[in-house]
């Protein structure tokens, strides 16, 4: 199927929002953009499901709404059946709604509480003027039975149903116009686990019966493992890794995917798995990190070849660099003007680094931090400890198990994917042209 023309093709999709700026910034024209979606590309074939996963705020729902043109993309193209729908007029888009639909996350807020189920589902039929061999009411009752509800439910109001039943109504509404593609925007995240399984099974059955393609958005990898043909993992507006469930789960390649998988609980009270705890929080999409957006939290950042770093030491130095950039070190809370020992403990830095020259640089940076000269500390660390992870943007490249956007799998840096170290023979950081997209 991969050799056929995809039903949906997304190329270089971007969605930026104007950030809230103060008066001076607006006056000087310095208003920044919130990069909700930043250069995303993928394909979905007929009858396939692409699972889109990642932490809250990474841009998953924005992608779904931008594909349907509910939000106008800033840049990029969305091809549906070979036609770029970003150029369509409003009237043409209205006709397209019959082929592309959405199931929302929270059915309680997406269903009109003043309408009966009959009117909620029938509204789509009325708007698009869909007439068939059966009457409107008979079609609605058939849709209700298809999603596992009773035909008698047609005359009830939304408040009379449970969360799972409401989501079935939302699915019936999406199916009413016989679409070929549906965006499932976290359709089970607000439901109990037992009900989640029922809705997932229903969506799979409908796909087998009707040949519908899904973009299935979720924040939980375990939810999409069994329903998706392909899974794309997102971080801060970009795709970090994409592949089949088998490729992502055994084993994952991108360090972020690895961390997400480690967070999935096992149904075993004696399970003692290794949970990967990421440092810090997701950076702001207004001012995202340079290079790889994940490098500020990544446990396997490529160290500079000129220094002998243990990986834990290097991660601690990178954390110092990032927190100095963000001025995220409360120096005033330390006694005696922030002694070195207290700073090192706060930053999880060992008492002495294994590389003497690296230790000298870190000590100088810590003295700048103690004096609250954060910019000097960040500049020193950036200039001395260069890494492609912070300077070059990774691109999605083919590997033996899917596609991954990580310099650990970039031959230009000769990085070892298992330990995150370099051989020292690769190009200097920032010199590889292939690292920039």
Cα–Cα dist 353/169, whole Å: 60
Query: Exposure of 222 by Cβ count < 10 A (0-12 exposed, 13-18 middle, 19+ buried)?
Result: middle
Cα–Cα dist 14/66, whole Å: 9
Cα–Cα dist 60/44, whole Å: 15
Angle in degrees, 0-180, between the axes of helices 136-146 and 163-175, rounded to the nearest 10: 130
Sites in the chain below the pLDDT cut of 50: 415-437
What is the CA 325 to chain-centroid distance, rounded? 24
DSSP 8-class letter at 422: B
Give the three-state DSSP class for 101: strand
Of 71, 176, 80, whose CA–CA distance to 123 is shortest? 176
The CB density around residue 295, as the number of other CB atoms within 10 Å, is 25
Compute the C-alpha angle 85/221/189, nearest 5°. Answer: 75
Cα–Cα dist 211/46, whole Å: 7
H or E segment and range at residue 17: strand 8-18
Provide DSSP, 22-43.
-HHHHHTT---EEEEEEEEEEE
Whole-model pTM? 0.85
Q: Domain ranges for the chain, please list them.
A: 311-386, 390-435
Give me the pLDDT at residue 432, please.
33
- Whether residue 39 contacts residue 58, with contact meaning beta carbons closer than 8 Å, is answered with no
Provide DSSP, 224-238.
HTTT-SEEEEEETTE
pLDDT in tens, 118-127: 999 999 888 8
Residue 103 Cα distances to 78, 119, 188, angstroms? 19, 17, 10
Give me the pLDDT at residue 424, please.
37
The dihedrals phi and psi of 44, each to the nearest 5 degrees, come to -135, 125
Q: What are the start-end ranges of the H helices in 23-116?
A: 23-27, 60-67, 90-96, 107-110
| 220 Cβ contact partners less than 8 Å away, ≥ 6 residues apart | 53, 189, 264
Give the three-state DSSP class for 127: helix
Give me the pLDDT at residue 255, please.
93
Cα–Cα dist 30/334, whole Å: 35
Cα–Cα dist 267/30, whole Å: 51
Of 329, 437, 433, whose CA–CA distance to 381 is shortest? 329
Cα–Cα dist 112/90, whole Å: 24
Q: What are the start-end ranges of the H helices in 211-288?
A: 221-224, 245-249, 255-262
pLDDT in tens, 242-268: 999 999 988 878 999 998 888 777 666
End-to-end CA distance of the chain: 28
The CB density around residue 131, as the number of other CB atoms within 10 Å, is 10
Give me the pLDDT at residue 3, please.
58
Polymer length of the chain: 437
Cα–Cα dist 34/422, whole Å: 34
- Whether residue 315 contacts residue 349, with contact meaning beta carbons closer than 8 Å, is answered with no
Residue 191 Cα distances to 108, 121, 164, 169, 416, angstroms? 11, 21, 7, 14, 41
Cα–Cα dist 25/20, whole Å: 10
Give the three-state DSSP class for 79: strand
pLDDT in tens, 165-214: 999 999 999 999 999 999 999 999 888 888 999 999 999 999 999 999 99
Whether a cis peptide bond, with omega within 30° of 0, leads into 330 is no
Tokens of 314: 């290097």
Cα–Cα dist 119/406, whole Å: 49
Cα–Cα dist 420/414, whole Å: 10
Give me the pLDDT at residue 375, please.
93
């Amino acid at each position: 199927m991969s050799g056929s023309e995809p039903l949906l093709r997304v190329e270089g999709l971007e969605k930026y929002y104007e950030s809230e700026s103060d008066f001076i910034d607006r006056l000087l024209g310095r208003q920044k953009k919130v990069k909700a979606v930043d250069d995303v590309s993928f394909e979905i074939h007929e009858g396939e499901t692409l699972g889109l996963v990642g932490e809250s705020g990474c841009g998953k729902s924005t992608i779904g709404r931008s594909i349907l043109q509910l939000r106008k993309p800033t840049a990029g193209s969305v091809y549906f059946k070979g036609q770029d729908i970003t150029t369509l007029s409003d009237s043409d888009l209205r006709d397209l709604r019959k082929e592309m639909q959405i199931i929302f996350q929270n059915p309680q807020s997406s269903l009109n509480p003043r309408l009966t189920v009959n009117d909620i589902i029938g509204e789509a039929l009325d708007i698009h003027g869909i007439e068939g061999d059966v009457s409107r009411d008979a079609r609605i009752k058939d849709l209700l039975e298809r999603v596992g509800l009773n035909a008698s439910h047609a005359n009830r109001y939304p408040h009379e149903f449970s969360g799972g039943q409401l989501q079935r109504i939302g699915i019936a509404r999406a199916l009413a116009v016989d679409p070929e593609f549906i965006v499932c925007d976290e359709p089970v995240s607000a439901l109990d686990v037992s009900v989640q399984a029922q809705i997932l099974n229903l969506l799979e059955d409908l796909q087998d019966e009707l040949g519908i393609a899904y973009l299935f958005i979720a924040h939980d990898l375990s939810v999409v493992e069994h329903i998706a043909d392909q899974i794309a993992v997102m971080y801060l507006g970009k795709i970090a890794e994409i592949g089949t469930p088998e490729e992502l789960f055994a084993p994952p390649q991108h360090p972020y995917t690895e961390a997400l998988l480690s967070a999935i609980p096992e149904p075993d009270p004696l399970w003692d798995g290794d949970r990967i705890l990421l440092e810090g929080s997701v950076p702001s999409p207004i001012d995202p990190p340079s290079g790889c957006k994940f490098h500020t939290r990544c446990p396997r950042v490529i160290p500079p070849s000129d220094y002998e770093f243990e990986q834990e030491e290097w991660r601690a130095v990178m954390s110092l660099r990032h927190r100095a950039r963000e001025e995220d070190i409360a120096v005033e809370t330390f006694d005696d003007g922030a002694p070195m020992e207290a700073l090192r403990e706060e930053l999880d830095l060992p008492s002495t680094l294994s590389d003497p020259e690296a230790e000298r640089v870190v000590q100088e940076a810590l003295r700048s931090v103690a004096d609250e000269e954060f910019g000097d500390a960040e500049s020193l660390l950036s200039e001395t400890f260069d890494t492609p992870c912070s300077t070059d943007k990774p691109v999605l490249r083919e590997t033996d198990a899917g596609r991954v956007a990580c310099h650990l799998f970039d031959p230009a840096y000769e990085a070892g994917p298992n330990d995150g170290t370099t051989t020292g023979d690769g190009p200097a950081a920032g010199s590889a042209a292939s690292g920039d997209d």
